[in-house]
A and B are shown apart, each in its own frame.
Chain A
Amino acid sequence: EAAVTQSPRSKVAVTGGKVTLSCHQTNNHDYMYWYRQDTGHGLRLIHYSYVADSTEKGDIPDGYKASRPSQENFSLILELASLSQTAVYFCASTPGTEVFFGKGTRLTVV
């Protein structure tokens, strides 16, 4: 099965601080995504990338940056964390159709 590894699995961050969520895939997939999950909102796309060194904005990119330094790695960066960014974040990869999700990162901003 496709392997998508996220780190950390959980994090408590201080308001205004910088947070970096990391994602690594060993599947040689072109596409990688960052989704955010909140109750009542399902899975919302933050940023995605279909090739190394390039990222695209998803549906809710405000307050987030993304970085794809290599095909295997895709990071989500919160430069100034806010309370509203408390959520579970999922990284995913796909060769083009089936999407494989990581285990998720539970981020709590206090």
Chain B
Amino acid sequence: GEQVEQLPSILRVQEGSSASINCSYEDSASNYFPWYKQEPGENPKLIIDIRSNMERKQIQELIVLLDKKAKRFSLHITDTQPGDSAMYFCAASVNYGSSGNKLIFGIGTLLSVKP
């Protein structure tokens, strides 16, 4: 099936520094790329998303970049805080015509922010 690759799987940064997570996708028709944050024992929650008609989107300390030609997108967290420590998932939408849409997730990045 369609794949979304996500790297790194583990990311450790110092408080106040930046953290970057990179993803790549296969289907050039994918047009929606969300990012989810999952705290331990909780469900994943949407933190930011970008559509294929944009190259950059920022919400406070979160920046998402999309390179459609390279089929890559990335999440950048500036000025990280201990509260940013969590699992992060990228995803890409895949449309299967009469079978509807699917959202394919990467394997996740465990971010640890050290005080």
Q: Which residues of A contact B (CB under 8 A)?
A: 31, 33, 35, 40-45, 48, 50, 56, 58-59, 90, 94, 96-99, 101-104
Q: Looking at the complex, which one of A58, A90, A94 makes contact with B43 (CB distance below 8 Å)?
A: A90
CB contacts between A and B, total, < 8 Å? 55
Measured in the bound complex, the distance between the Cα atoms of B9 and A79 in whole Å is 33
| Minimum Cβ distance to chain B for residue A79 (Å) | 23
Measured in the bound complex, the distance between the Cα atoms of B82 and A88 in whole Å is 26
A58-B102 contact, Cβ under 8 Å, with A41-B107, A104-B43: yes
A98-B46 contact, Cβ under 8 Å, with A31-B100, A42-B6, A56-B99: yes
Chain B interface category by residue count? 20 to 34
Q: Which residues of B contact A (CB under 8 A)?
A: 1, 6, 9, 32, 34, 42-46, 49, 89, 91, 93, 96, 99-108
A90-B44 contact, Cβ under 8 Å, with A42-B89, A43-B89, A98-B49: yes
**Apart from A42-B6, A97-B93, A98-B49, what 16 extra A-B contacts exist at CB < 8 Å?**
A31-B100, A35-B105, A40-B107, A41-B107, A42-B105, A44-B105, A50-B101, A56-B96, A56-B99, A56-B100, A59-B104, A98-B34, A99-B91, A101-B43, A102-B43, A103-B43
